[in-house]
Structures are given as C-alpha cells and as structure tokens.
C-alpha cells in the first residue's frame, strides 16, 4: 500500500478542522452525530479539540461491499434527539456524496436549528450530488483509501495513516 497521508499530516488536518469548527460555533452548544463506522477515529480525535459544550451521538450506515457501492442502509436508532439544536454531522469521506446526502435529508426532517457536515476526506471528481460539506480536512485523488477509520472488508481501520489500496493489494487480500 502507498501511504497518502501519514499520522502527522492527519493530526494536523484534524487540528485545522477543529479550529474551523471552533471559529464557526464559538461557545454555542453543539450536537455531534458521527456516521458509523468510518468516522469513529476522526470523531474521537476531533471532539477532544472542540471547545464548546458537546453532545455526541451516532447514526449507522452501510453501503460498500469490498470496493463496490451497494444499496445504502441507515440505522438511526442510536441517534440523539436533534430537534432545536445546532448539529454537526461527521463522516470519514465524501466520495459520491450519496451517503451524506441521504443522512442529511433524514436529519433535516428531525428539526435541527442548523445542520452542517464535516469530513476528513473529499475525493476529487467523484461527487454525484450538488453540494459539499462545510468542513473538509483534505482533498484527495480518486483512489480507494484505507486507514484512520476507513476500511476494505472491515480491515485496515486501525492504521494510523491513510493509504491507497492498490489493485494488487485488493487481489492479494481477497485470495487469502
């Protein structure tokens, strides 16, 4: 695997993201909703850098099998009540945008005062929706990436860096 962002670069990107969010919200209470499972590491690192009062919840989505996108499923049973609250939706990657679009629409129906989104990665040139997250740590090329919460078949989430999974890596992994 080729390392795209090392641990130091990721930490600096999360710090920049936190600074932007702190500047936007100031001391206003904020409800964070992380999209499981990919956002867990980002969310944990990010909330430790935020200065406002926080509530933290999650929503679970699933859309990938290996490297192929399938039907999106959303499980919002673990999500906090977000009515009349400022909400920040946290996700690992903005690829086509379909997942964040659908989760955002679901959440808008729950009556938040405001709803913004933050992502670690925005994959260049892949968007199929007409908007982008308000907060983005990194723009990346159109590569299949793993590490720092992102996975391939539930593997590699624990890598402290972000790596591009090459076709040979995928082939070798599926043959094991």
Structural domain containing residue 88: 7-142
Each residue's pLDDT tens digit, 105-119: 988 988 999 999 999
Report yes or no on 159 lying in a domain: no
Residue 77's pLDDT is what? 66
Report yes or no on 162 lying in a domain: no
Residue 35's pLDDT is what? 92
Omega prior to 7 cis, within 30 of 0: no
Report yes or no on 73 lying in a domain: yes
Residue 139's pLDDT is what? 96
Report yes or no on 154 lying in a domain: no
Report yes or no on 167 lying in a domain: no
Query: What's the whole-model pTM score?
Result: 0.87
What's the domain count of the chain? 1
CA 32 to chain centre: 12
142 counts as catalytic: no
Residue 133's pLDDT is what? 97
Report yes or no on 169 lying in a domain: no
In angstroms, the Cα distances linking 145 to 2, 39, 41, 101, 120 are 9, 14, 15, 21, 12
Report yes or no on 82 lying in a domain: yes
Of the candidates 10, 79, 5, the one whose C-alpha atom is nearest the C-alpha of residue 42 is 10
DSSP string, 44-105: HHHHTT--S-EEEEEEEEEEEETTEEEEEEEE-TTPPP-TTSEEEEEEEEESSSHHHHHHHH
Residue 15's pLDDT is what? 98
* Residue stretches of the chain with pLDDT short of 50: 66-67, 176
Residue 62's pLDDT is what? 67
* CATH number of the domain encompassing residue 116: 3.40.50.2020
Q: Which of 95, 130, 142, 169 is catalytic?
A: 95
The values of phi and psi at residue 141, to 5°, are: -70, 170
Report yes or no on 147 lying in a domain: no
Task: Return d(Cα 30, Cα 62) in angstroms, integer.
Answer: 25
Residue 70's pLDDT is what? 56
């Amino acid at each position: 695997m080729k390392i795209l962002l090392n641990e130091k670069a990721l930490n600096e990107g999360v710090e920049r993201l936190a600074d932007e969010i702190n500047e936007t919200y100031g001391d206003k209470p904020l409800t964070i909703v992380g999209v499981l499972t990919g956002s867990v590491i980002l969310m944990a690192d990010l909330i430790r850098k935020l200065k406002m009062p926080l509530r933290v919840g999650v929503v679970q989505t699933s859309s990938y099998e290996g490297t192929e996108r399938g039907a999106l499923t959303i499980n919002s049973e673990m999500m906090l009540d977000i009515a009349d609250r400022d909400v920040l939706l946290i996700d690992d990657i903005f690829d086509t945008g379909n997942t964040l679009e659908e989760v955002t629409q679901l959440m808008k129906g729950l009556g938040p005062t405001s709803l913004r989104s933050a992502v670690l990665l925005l994959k260049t040139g892949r968007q199929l929706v007409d908007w982008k997250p308000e907060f983005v740590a990194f723009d990346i090329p159109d590569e299949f990436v793993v590490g720092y919460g992102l996975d391939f078949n539930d593997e590699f989430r624990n890598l402290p860096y972000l790596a591009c999974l090459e076709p040979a890596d995928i082939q070798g992994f599926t043959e094991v």
